[in-house]
Amino acid sequence: MPTISEFYGIKIYMYWDEHNPPHFHAEYAEFKAIISINESVATQGFLPGKQLKLVLAWSEIHRAELLRNWELAQDRSSMMRIEPLR
């Protein structure tokens, strides 16, 4: 499970060869959520409000890069790191 970005204590992961729809995993402390790339919404799990807002904003900014990583992951290729929120 490669880490593709980290910011404000939040880690963003993407697994190889995962099921559709395109998504990524976000972790903050003991909280975990799965985020839809196309819709920028949490589809499973929970993140505290502030952290969820940060992740969703980051997701919208980097949607094209996330979709590119999704394609790479489906091919089991190396994924690129994505710029964190600052």
Q: What is the Cα–Cα distance from 25 to 45, expressed in whole angstroms?
A: 10
- Let me know: does 73 contact 79? Beta carbons within 8 Å: yes
pLDDT tens digits, the chain, 86 residues: what are they? 789 999 999 999 999 878 899 999 999 999 999 999 999 999 999 999 999 999 999 999 999 999 999 999 999 999 999 999 98
The pTM for the full model equals 0.94
Q: What is the Cα–Cα distance from 15 to 60, expressed in whole angstroms?
A: 19
Q: What is the Cα–Cα distance from 33 to 36, expressed in whole angstroms?
A: 10
